[in-house]
Amino acid sequence: MSQQPLSDVNAKVNDQIFGKDKKNKNKPQNNNNLKGNAPEKTSNDKLTEKQLRKLEWEKKLKERELETDVKSDADKTLSKAELKAKRREQQEAQRQAKTDKSKVIEQVPEKPIVSKIAKLPPELPYLNTHKTPLKKSFEASRTNPKQVQLVKHLYRIPNLEHQSKIVNFKDIHPVFVRLGVQYSEKVILGSNARALALLSAIKTLINDIQTPSKQEFCRYFQAILQSCTDYIQDCRPFAVSMTNALRAFKHQLRHIDTNHSDNEKRAILLEFIETYVRNDMLKAWDAICMKVNEKILNGDVILIYGCSSLIRRILLEAYKDGKHFSVIIVDSRPLLEGREMLRRLAVAGIKCSYAIINSLSCVMKQATKVLLGAHALLTNGSVMSRIGTAQVALVAQAYNKPVLVCCETYKFSERVQTDSFVYNEIGDPDLFLNIDTSSNSNPLVSQKDNNKLNILNLLYDVTPPDLVTAVVTELAILPCTSVPAVLRINAGENSI
Partner 1 sequence: MKSETDDLSDVIKLISDIKHKTLLSSHDIALSTEKLLVNLISHGNWSSALDLMELIRRRIKCLSQSLPMEATATNIMRHILKVIREEFEVASKKKGEAHSLHHIVTGALSNILDYSESLTSLKAALLDHLSEYKTELETSAENIAAQASEHIHSNETILTFGSSRTVKMFLKSASKKRTFNVIVVEAAPLYLGHSLAVSLAKSNIQTTVIADSAVFAMMSRVNKVIIGTHTVLANGGLRAISGTHTVGLAAKHYSVPVMVLSHMYKFTPIYLGSNDHDTLNILANPATVIPYSSGAVLNKADIATPMFDYVPPELVTLFITHQGGNSPSYVYRLLSEVYHPDDYEI
Binding site for partner 1 (CB under 8 A): 148-150, 328, 332-334, 339, 342-343, 346-347, 352-363, 365, 387-388, 390-391, 394-395, 398, 419-421, 432, 435-438, 442-444, 446-447, 450, 452-458, 461-462
Spatial distance between the Cα atoms of 328 and 334, rounded to a whole number of angstroms? 19
Complex with partner 1: residue 76 or 452, whichever CB lies closer: 452
Least CB distance to partner 1 at residue 29 (A):
34
Question: What is the C-alpha to C-alpha distance for residues 86 and 77, in angstroms, rounded to an integer?
Answer: 13
Closest contact distance (angstroms) between CB of 1 and partner 1 is 43
CB atoms within 10 A of CB 229: 21
How distant is the alpha carbon of residue 100 from its chain centre? 28
- Decide if 105 contacts 115 (C-beta within 8 A): no
Q: How far is the CB of 447 from partner 1 (least distance, A)?
A: 5
Nearest distance in Å: CB 8, partner 1: 31
By beta-carbon proximity to partner 1, the closer residue of 78 and 394 is: 394
The Cα-based distances of 42 to 36, 49, 51, 105, 489 in angstroms read 14, 11, 15, 18, 51
Q: Which is nearer to partner 1, 263 or 454 (CB)?
A: 454
Torsion of CA 387, 389, 394, 399, to 10 degrees: 140
**Shortest separation between residue 139's beta carbon and partner 1, angstroms:** 23
Q: Which amino acid is present at 392?
A: V
Residue 86 identity: K
Q: What is the nearest approach in angstroms of partner 1 to the Cβ of residue 298?
A: 19
**Which of 257/436 has CB closer to partner 1?**
436
From the CB of 420, what's the least distance to partner 1, in Å? 4
Q: Which is nearer to partner 1, 55 or 348 (by Cβ)?
A: 348
Closest by CA position to 237, among listed 154, 151, 343, 149: 154
Rounded to whole angstroms, the Cα distance separating 315 from 309 reads: 10
Cα-atom radius of gyration of the chain, to the nearest Å? 24
Residue 179 or 360 having the CB closest to partner 1: 360
User: Which residue, 202 or 357, is less far from partner 1 as judged by CB?
Assistant: 357
How far apart, in whole angstroms, are the C-alpha atoms of residue 211 and residue 222? 11
